[in-house]
Copies of this chain bind each other. A is one copy, B any other.
Amino acid sequence: MTNPTATLLVSCPDSRGLVAKIANFIYANGGNIIHADHHTDFAAGLFLTRIEWQLDGFNLPRDLIGPAFNAIAQPLQANWQLHFSDTKPRISIWVSRQDHCLFDLIWRHQAKEFDAEVPLIISNHPDLKDLATQFGAEFAHIPVNKDSKREQEANQLELLRQYNIDLVVLAKYMQILSPEFITEFSKKIINIHHSFLPAFVGANPYQQAYERGVKIIGATAHYVTSELDAGPIIEQDVVRVSHRDDVADLIRKGKDLERMVLARAVRSHLQNRVLVYGNRTVVFE
């Protein structure tokens, strides 16, 4: 599939003819659809779709696809995004001291599971510098404390702009971002929370899980919003635990969950398979 593709993500109020109108737009211009998936949320009265087609043989030049589709989208009151498969998103991974998610993302990037570039790693601790460097990414050590947070976020934003970052992946960054920062990067920050949300919001979820005596633990990848651990969920998974597992075992088992769940969420996002509406996501498969 080296043939480049275009992908439209569209959401609009439900009405008759939406599949036909969008498919016709592709067909009329000679496009060959290779993925089309639609969802109607009847409770919300919304139609949501993902449609991907090959650009070879498509009659519209790239820079006209958006404007042309907009003429269709406007009367439908549609929100839409257009992506090209050969425009690689640029990711900044943010870490603290734990390396398991970073290590895993690196391996997946090298294994070509992610069609993206990872030019920048940011951390509030210097510990993972070697790992980052070895990976070929720039490592920015930006310590944060209560007083310096606002200022440091300005530095972080500046770096994100400088590196043309499209997506921030909080790979166990362990710091709470300010609402202002989040607004600047809305729907472009993915966090991995080490619990099955909404259970065990906030700090030390494994300790909380242990104390509650649960028989299953989980991990949740979600877009970051200003309310802590309450953003739209992209992916979750769980693993069974027993009375034999103490907090250290929960942490160990949880690490495997965290990296799997985060990786799946990042991959879905990078493939433009995630549509956020309200506080929910559609993850097209």
Residues of B within 8 A of A33 (CB): 16, 18-19, 38, 40
Nearest CB on B from A135, distance (A): 12
Q: Are B197 and A198 in contact (CB under 8 A)?
A: no
| Per-residue B-contact encoding for A81-123, CB less than 8 Å = 1, 0 else | 0000000000000000001100110010001010000000000
> Which among A177-185, A186-194, A211-219 touches the partner chain?
A211-219
Contact indicator B216/A197 (Cβ below 8 Å): no
- Give Cα A238 to B244, complex, Å: 20
Please give, as numbers and ranges, the residues of chain B lying within 8 Å of A232 by CB-CB distance: 213
| A233 interface residue (CB < 8 Å to B) | yes
B244 touching A215 by the CB < 8 A rule? Answer: no
Do the beta carbons of B26 and A20 come within 8 Å of each other? yes
Tell whether, in the assembled complex, residue B19 and residue A19 are in contact, meaning their CB atoms are under 8 Å apart.
yes
**Considering the chains assembled together, what is the distance between the CA atoms of A213 and B43 in angstroms?**
13
When the two chains form their complex, are residues B37 and A37 in contact, meaning their CB atoms are under 8 A apart?
yes
Tell which of B24, B30, B107, B199 touches A100, judged by Cβ atoms closer than 8 Å: B107
C-alpha spacing A278/B197, complex, angstroms: 25
Number of A residues with CB within 8 Å of any CB on chain B: 69
Oligomer: number of copies: 4
Q: A246 with B214: in contact, given A198-B200, A252-B113 (CB under 8 Å)?
A: no
What B residues does A30 contact at CB under 8 A? 16
Question: For residue A30, which residue of chain B has the nearest CB?
Answer: B16
Which residues from 247 to 263 on chain A have a C-beta closer than 8 Å to any C-beta of chain B? 247, 252, 255-256, 260
Q: Is the CB of B233 within 8 A of A213?
A: yes
Q: Report, nearest first, the 10 A-B pairs whose CB atoms are least far apart.
A: A213-B280, A20-B23, A20-B27, A199-B199, A19-B23, A17-B27, A243-B282, A215-B236, A216-B236, A20-B24
Residues from chain B with Cβ under 8 Å of A282 in the complex: 243
**What residues of B have a CB within 8 angstroms of the CB of A197 in the complex?**
199, 212, 214
| Complex: chain B residue closest to A255, CB-CB | B111
- The docked-state distance in angstroms from the alpha carbon of A242 to that of B242 is 14
* Separation of A38 and B243 alpha carbons in the complex (Å): 11
The reply to whether the CB of A127 lies closer than 8 angstroms to some CB of chain B is no
Query: A213-B233, A280-B213, A281-B213 are contacts. A244–B107 as well, Cβ < 8 Å?
Result: no
Residues of B within 8 A of A43 (CB): 246-247
Indicate whether A138 reaches chain B with its CB closer than 8 angstroms. Answer: no
8 A Cβ contacts from A192-207 to B: 196-200
B residues near A213, Cβ cutoff 8 Å: 232-233, 278-281
Please provide the chain A residues from 25 to 68 with a CB less than 8 Å away from any CB of chain B in the complex: 26-28, 30-43
A206 to chain B, nearest CB (A): 13
- Asked if A237 lies at the interface with its beta carbon under 8 angstroms from chain B, I say yes
A243 and B211 CA atoms in complex are apart in Å by 29
Q: How far is the CA of A285 from the CA of B100 in the complex (A)?
A: 24
